[in-house]
A and B are shown apart, each in its own frame.
Chain A
Amino acid sequence: MTSPAAELQGITKRFGAVVACDNVDLALQRGEIHGILGENGAGKSTLMKVLIGLVLPDAGAIRINGESRRIGDPAEAAELGIGMVHQHFSLVEPLTVWENVILGEPIRLDAAAAKRRVGEISERYGLAIDPDERISDLSAGLRQRVEIIKCLRRDPAIVILDEPTSVLTPGESEQLFEVLRLVVERENKAVALVSHKLDEVLAATDQITIMRAGAVVDRRDTADADAPGLARAMVGRPVSLRSEGAALGHIEAFEDDRLATGPVVEAARATEPQPVLSIRGATARGRDRRTLLDGLSLDVHPGEIVGVAGVEGNGQAALSDLLSSLLPLESGTVRVRDERPLPGRPGAMAAAGVAVVPADRHESGCVLDMTVAENLTLVSPPRPRTGRALLDRAGRALLDRAGRQAHAERLIEQFGIQTPGADAPMWSLSGGNQQRVVLARELSGDPAVLVAAQPTRGLDVGAIEYVSERLREAAADGVAVLLISTELEEVLDLADRIVVIFRGRIVGEMDRANLDVERLGLLMSGAQEAAAS
């Protein structure tokens, strides 16, 4: 047997304390589509960036056709015959198709020849495209065609595709896989298909490598693989065991707190069947016209925790933005109690009683260069109400330093925030304590709805426990809690009810009592969209 087209050995890459790739081996054979499967953050993309020269590994070796190579940048990779179709399109929108295809090539600019070449490639692979079209006028599917043509133009021996179908319709995805099959069978290229979608990896590949937390956890021949087995390997056996156990009520972690809050939940729901947060048919598009939310409907009742499970990039950010008044809707409504806050109008959701713990603490959760007290009172400096609108308004405009300080100190004590003082800068706090500040601020306004997006991301075990505890307490106090998390474990641990978000819509729902982890995994990957509805 000849040596593989590309071989990665013992690749390790750290970003600060995070190990993105941990001693990973991978071999790409000619004439094969190799699926690299894993959840977001499993290290798949980093591994591919090592191969294309965008990331330099800390340790490990790369062999191309059996020869050891060092790949420092994409140009070197291109010379070795490695091409990549990037996850986020690397196209320049105001330029035309042919201009994009030849971008970065050190040859004379010859429009006629470039267009001819685009025509040849598009004919050879059945990727019809008009070379004079502007990228900004093309759909996501056609843009990807341009990316693929750009990649194939140099006739690479190894083709890497990073989450190629994340923006495609099912039909477009099928076409893409036909092209890949063609490339592999007719031209004996080696293809690496990076994906978190079980169905497409099963349908399109020959070999599968499964990654979790930066390491390879399993390798299979696609012929011998099945979806439930892959789902378990991808999400991880310990998680699966724990959650299955949780569903059956066997795990001791649940016996102390979960059972205690259980009856409260029941009582709250019994007395107040009306949902406090109700989203109906929410549809929204981003600035690039991509669909962010696609008719999403969701109810949250007082006193319950609803977990939104799903693979990252399926509309979680948009849902969180919607409830932070950051995203206007094309159609659909949001109702909070009896109010109908106008989506997208600054502050509308907060005024209606929606508090949000944003996914990115540093970007939108707090201001690192301000003090703890300032961060705690950032949203609404507390003021005794006089009952007169004008006075209240004037009072809000002026900051009451003493009142703010007292309020901040109360919250610091109440939430056990470890800080040298209320005037310490926010950046001097640990991640866990920063998150406590955000939680304290959001909960201090007595919200009707609490949205927690990735509330434990990047926190240590103790902090995770604290945040979980607070969310449960909030629910016990009658707050409707919406937990948006890509950590399935977290959702399974906290939620009374789990809904699955896929491509901007809710595709399935299950109660804690009827938990089926395998089905959940399939729903998340979109494999059972039909079965869910």
Chain B
Amino acid sequence: MVGDFFSAVGDVLSSETTYSSGWRLAVALAFVAVGEWIAERAGTINISVEGSMLAGAFAAAMGYDASGSVAVGLLIGAAAGLLVGAVQAHFSHNLTANQFVVGLTLNILVLGLASFLNSSLKPETATAHVFEVPGLVEIPLLGPALFGQPWPLYLLYPLVPLAWWLVYRTRWGLEVRAVGENPQAADVSSIDVNARRRQAIYFAGITSGLGGGYLLLGQVGWFEDAIVGGQGFIAIAAVIFGGWTLRGAMLGCLLFGSANSFRLSLPAVGHPLNSELLSSLPFVLTICVMALFAHRTREPQSLARPFIRGLR
């Protein structure tokens, strides 16, 4: 039994498809996590990324159906994600409604809307073509995973350094970090706290919508209600897992994506393992990390705390 398991693990680890699908799944998470990371650095646990992602996926399907172009589909997906983010931002950082209540409501609303529209409009979709980066795709084991994928996946590669540069090398990023840590101090230094927080959520909405579009046009190929199925939440878990650093969050995405692909490929190589159990792995890992490193990782000091001027 144990021997079986290890031989299964061996099979899975030596198969290029494992890496390839693991990377694909990780990238879907990373699109969301990179935006969520910025939103959380600004002080919002933006759970509506799940809704943004789903809205992005459905809008991408509609966009592709209407135009026949993957690029247009992705663009419309990003716009739909932004729309969900804008609603979240307005309610939680203009009207100071509870960000979790707003996020929950949005997620349910988007799910219902997308499901209804999908059943009545039935968009026709396809998957984007695979683009092999010449030369790099030849790298053994990892080459096809990293550089032999549907082309929307490559959008993530510039997005991650861009997010890093925004947060650590621009004034906007400095203010975003200040606002998530000590909004009163930021306010005294004449920074518009809630505007920065809203902008960070817009960013998360765009990347999540893009992530949804990628999921649909780069991976699955058709829309179904369960296409996102909690991946937005796993991305939030990745940000927490990574201790609110970009590197850590991306590592979390890779880990959770791999775990997911492991789950998918075990039965494929003929070794059924309880896949429900495996799919809970990201959350188990996050809980373990939080239990082990809770005192060491530093979350933004004002995370999930609304800012109202004049209150100290």
Chain A residues at the B interface, C-beta cutoff of 8 Å: 54, 73-75, 78, 86, 88-95, 99, 102-104, 107-109, 150
Q: Flag if B181 contacts A103 (CB, 8 Å).
A: no
Smallest Cβ-Cβ distance to B178: which chain A residue: A92
Contact residues in A for B185 (Cβ distance below 8 Å): 89-92, 103
Beta-carbon contacts of B230-247 to A below 8 Å, as 1s and 0s? Answer: 000000000000000000
A97 to chain B, nearest CB (A): 13
CB–CB B177/A95 < 8 A: yes
**Taking each of B175, B181, B190, which has the highest tally of chain A beta carbons within 10 Å of its own beta carbon?**
B190
Is the Cβ of A104 less than 8 Å from the Cβ of B190?
yes
Question: Which residues in A have their C-beta under 8 angstroms from that of B178?
Answer: 92, 95, 99, 103
Task: Compute how far the CA of A341 lies from the CA of B106 in the bound complex, rounded to whole angstroms.
Answer: 50
Q: Is the CB of B190 within 8 A of A73?
A: yes
Closest chain B residue to A76, Cβ basis: B190
**Which one of A54, A93, A109 contacts B169 once the chains associate, using CB atoms below 8 Å?**
A109
- The answer to whether B301 has its CB under 8 Å from any CB of chain A is yes
Closest to B244 in A: A94
Q: Provide the bound-state CA to CA distance between A164 and B182, in Å.
A: 20
Given known A-B contacts A90-B189, A109-B169, A103 and B184 have beta carbons under 8 A apart? no
How many residues on B have C-beta within 8 angstroms of the other chain's C-beta atoms? 19
* Bound-state Cα–Cα, A183 to B301, Å: 35
Residue in contact with A107 in the complex, picked from B171, B182, B190, B301, CB distance below 8 Å: B171
Q: Does B170 contact A (CB under 8 A)?
A: yes
Sample of 20 more A-B contacts, CB < 8 Å, known A109-B170, A109-B171: A73-B190, A74-B190, A75-B190, A88-B312, A90-B184, A90-B185, A91-B182, A92-B177, A92-B181, A92-B186, A93-B181, A93-B301, A94-B301, A95-B177, A95-B178, A95-B181, A103-B174, A103-B189, A104-B175, A107-B171
Given that A92-B177, A93-B181, A109-B171 are contacting pairs, would A103 and B298 also be in contact in the complex, using a CB cutoff of 8 Å? no
> Which residues of B lie under 8 Å from residue A104 when comparing CB positions?
175, 186, 189-191
Shortest Cβ gap from A366 to chain B (Å): 22
The residues of A that contact B292 with a CB separation of less than 8 Å are: none
A-B pairs with lowest CB-CB distance, top 6? A104-B189, A75-B190, A90-B185, A109-B171, A90-B188, A103-B189
30 A-B contacts (beta carbon < 8 Å): A54-B188, A74-B190, A86-B188, A88-B312, A90-B182, A90-B185, A90-B189, A91-B182, A92-B186, A93-B181, A94-B181, A94-B298, A95-B177, A95-B178, A95-B181, A99-B174, A103-B175, A103-B185, A103-B186, A103-B189, A103-B191, A104-B186, A104-B189, A104-B190, A104-B191, A107-B171, A109-B169, A109-B170, A109-B171, A109-B174
Give A114 to B122 CA distance when docked, in angstroms: 56
Within the complex, the shortest CB–CB distance from A292 to chain B, in Å, comes to: 19
Complex CA–CA separation, A74 to B177 (angstroms) = 21
Q: Find the residue from A93, A103, A109 having the highest chain B CB count within 10 A.
A: A103
A99-B170 Cα distance, complex, nearest whole Å? 11
Give the chain A neighbours of B177 by CB distance below 8 A. Answer: 92, 94-95
Q: How far is the CA of A103 from the CA of B182 in the complex (A)?
A: 12
Chain A residues with Cβ below 8 Å from B182 are 90-93
The complex places the Cα of A91 from the Cα of B301 at a distance, in Å, of: 13
A150 to chain B: closest residue by CB: B189
Question: In the complex, are the beta carbons of A95 and B188 less than 8 A apart?
Answer: no
Q: Tell me the minimal C-beta distance from B259 to chain A in angstroms.
A: 31
Give CA–CA (A236, B288) in the complex, Å. 60
Mark contacts of B145-170 with chain A using CB atoms, 8 A cut-off: 1 yes-contact digit, 0 otherwise: 00000000000000000000000011
CB distance from B163 to the nearest CB of A (A): 16
Q: How far is the CA of A137 from the CA of B140 in the complex (A)?
A: 46
Report yes or no: A108 in contact with B298, Cβ–Cβ below 8 A.
no
Report chain A residues within 8 Å CB of B174. Answer: 95, 99, 102-103, 109
Q: Which residue of B lies closest to A74 (CB)?
A: B190
- In the complex, the chain A residue whose C-beta lies closest to that of B188 is A90
Nearest A residue (CB) for B170: A109
Tell me the residues in window 36-58 of chain B with beta carbons closer than 8 Å to chain A beta carbons. Answer: none
